[in-house]
Structure 1
Amino acid sequence: MKKKIVVYTAISGDYDQLKSPEFVNENCDYICFSDNQSLKSDCWHIVPFKEHFEDTTLTTRHVKLLPHRYLSSYEFSIWIDGNIVIKNNISNLLNLYLENASIAMFKHPLNRCSIKDEVTACIELKKDLKRKLIFQRDLYYSLGYQDGDACIPGTCSILRRHNEKKLILAMEEWWMHVRTYSKRDQVSFPFVAWKIGIPFNLIEYQSFKEYFLRSSHDGENFKDRVMSYLFQGGLFRVKTAHGQFHIEHISEENS
């Protein structure tokens, strides 16, 4: 019998190594879209990318934002970034957060509550061209977008009933913004949700740590690795050895 739930991810090149879930739900299919022919897994079904872009980030974003194009035979989809390990039964989240909405995400781990703050952070971390980010920020506010009281969602995990018509409209719009402006999807999602008028649920960040473990991407630079540890929560220390920086987690018991 065809399963209703799919967990999926996308990996381009060697940016991430495919991570096996610590908890496997037999009621879910697990699909990894990739151009890396060396990927092997006993859990994940490896599927080649259908669309390719010069920027590999856009190649993975295309899969990430448009599950209705790739996974239309499933009722529910759960996206996870390639650096995330599943450690609990994530189908529980669908029952909790997709009852009254077609999309749900976790709150931003650093409690950013405005597009302005997200753009500033992206510029500082050199996540995209400064001129692109500033243009996009100013455009959104000029079109009437106003920041609310809620946190901006983090997009490393996305729960969706992805075949709903209004959500498809929103996801196509989201992709258009990522393709046209900055590729930073956390910048564009709040505006798109406001413009299309789709309700979405924000999940408390503490729940993220109950269901997932987030590591740094294999291709990340030093600043990105620090951000990964901040996202994961808890304490960490930065050490140097032979002129290289190393980051290690500190358990709360030993702090």
Structure 2
Amino acid sequence: MYNKNYIFENLKIYPITLKSLENWQNEGRKIGIYGAGKFGKQWYEILYHFHFNVYCFIDNNPELWNAEIIDKIKCYNPIDFSDSDDIIFFACVNCELLLSLIGRAKAQKIQIAAMNDLVDDLITFHPDKYFELLKIHADQEYTELFYVHDLARTEYAEATVKGATEKIAVYTGIFGNYDTYKIPQVFPDNIDYYLISDNKPDLPAPIHWLDAKGVIPNDISSPIIKNRYVKMHGYEIFKDYGYSVYLDGCVQVERDLSDYLPEGNLGISVFRHPLHDSVYYEALNQTNNNRVDTLNTIKQMERYINEGLPVHTGMAEMGVIGRDHRNIAGNDLMCQWWTEFCHGAMRDQFSFAYVLWKNSYSFADLSMIGLNRYKALEIKTLLHPENSRCV
């Protein structure tokens, strides 16, 4: 059986649940935070809300030792707490620094806890507390506080996408002032590029323009919802093609995308989410990022919890999607994805993971293009305009 604390092997780990942490504190033992930066401060505020007292911070930066970090709580040298059995420290750093911190904690003989354990317990056994957490985190400064340290625990398909010589429609939908079209850097013979928008821009001759009025229902007026419609209906819009690849407006093509085409049960290829494998974690990060309305997100997560959607089912990054239009099951999933998207907080990554699970599929039924689209060589992901963060 998978041990979700595998990364903390050989460390002294106290099993963290809401009840066990309450017992720990009631027995007079202490709670600390390893990491006195932005992540640690946010976790302090969350613990404080749930009536947990933080005794101190520790950090490997000597400039912070003996400094007051927040609410007159000081930071100390981690070595001061080596072999201390009466205090447990939550590891609070970004995902790139976690392994380094864990290695240091092991060498320093510091007793470490994982935030994930407590969050998973709230989602599974105390959903009202999880909904409180969504509200708290929505008001905090934007971070990526909630991530999963072991994405390998979720079974994904092998990254086996096949190249093709037949024609492929590579397309983007841009509406309002959300993005500007990124001109591809390569023009392979088997790829036709399309931009779908309300107004025809000046484009180089190889790029085709489709008028949104010809492909999007007239009752859709929101720029964001227009984009999601074309994202999810490529199999209808480009039915004369066997394959399509959807790209977010912030994505620029750098190399041939023929290898982004899917194999597998559903004829869908995606990038794995780089931070986590959970709809519920995605909800925390996206409310914090002001991408979705918090109350609508709570309603959607409550419905998912009540229906039994597991905490860790897998998560795709839906800014790049390859599709085989001849795969009937995949086309049906796209249709259901659109329906679910329209009945929730309108965050497509929430609804896609749910629809996949609801149909008894898993991420092993998809083709995985790669582990992180931001590190892909074939595309470059640029920043959305700042105003695109607003709900």
CA distance in 1, matches of 2:342, 2:202: 27
The match for 1:80 among 224, 236, 247 is 247
Q: Which residue number in structure 2 is paired with residue 140 of structure 1?
A: 304
- The match for 1:128 is 292
Is it true that 1:180 corresponds to 2:343 in the alignment? yes
Identity of aligned residues (%): 26
Render the CA deviation track for 1:194-231: whole Å, top value 9, x for unaligned.
Answer: 112342123333565211101112x334979xxxxxxx
| TM-superposed deviation, 1:14 | 2.8
User: Which residue is 2:233 aligned to?
Assistant: 66
Residues 168 and 20 of structure 1, relative CA distance in 2, 3 Å threshold:
same
Tell me, yes or no, if the aligned pair for 2:193 and 2:206 is still in contact at 8 Å.
yes
Q: CA deviation at 1:134?
A: 1.1
AA at the equivalent of 2:344? Y
Cα distance in 2 for residues equivalent to 1:161 and 1:46:
22
Which whole-Å deviations, capped at 9, do the CAs of 1:35-65 have from their partners, x for residues lacking one?
0233423332010113242321001110100
Shift of 1:112: 1.6
Going from structure 1 to structure 2, the CA distance change for 1:177 and 1:15 (only over 3 Å counts) comes to same
Task: Tell me the TM-score normalised to structure 1 length.
Answer: 0.78
Higher strand share: 1
Q: Which has the higher contact order (CA 8 A, sep 6+)?
A: 1
Q: 1:63 to 1:149 in 2, by over 3 A?
A: closer
Question: 1:187 deviation in Å?
Answer: 1.0
Contact 2:178 2:388 in 1 (8 A): no
Q: 1:196 to 1:100 in 2, by over 3 A?
A: closer
Matched residue type, 2:292: D
Q: What is the match of residue 201 of structure 1?
A: 367
Match of residue 17 from structure 1: 180
Report how many residues are paired.
Answer: 218
Report the Cα distance in structure 2 between the residues aligned to 1:175 and 1:193, rounded to whole angstroms. 12
Aligned to 1:232: none
Runs of 4+ in 1 over 6 A off after TM superposition: none
- Report the CA distance between 1:117 and its aligned residue: 0.5
What secondary structure sits across from 1:210 in the alignment? Answer: coil
Structure 2 alignment gaps of length 5 or more? 1-164
Structure-2-length-normalised TM-score: 0.52
User: Which of the two has higher C-alpha Rg?
Assistant: 2
Partner of 2:267: 102
Structure 1 unaligned spans of 5+: 225-255
Using the alignment, how far apart are the partners of 2:240 and 2:379 within structure 1? Answer: 26
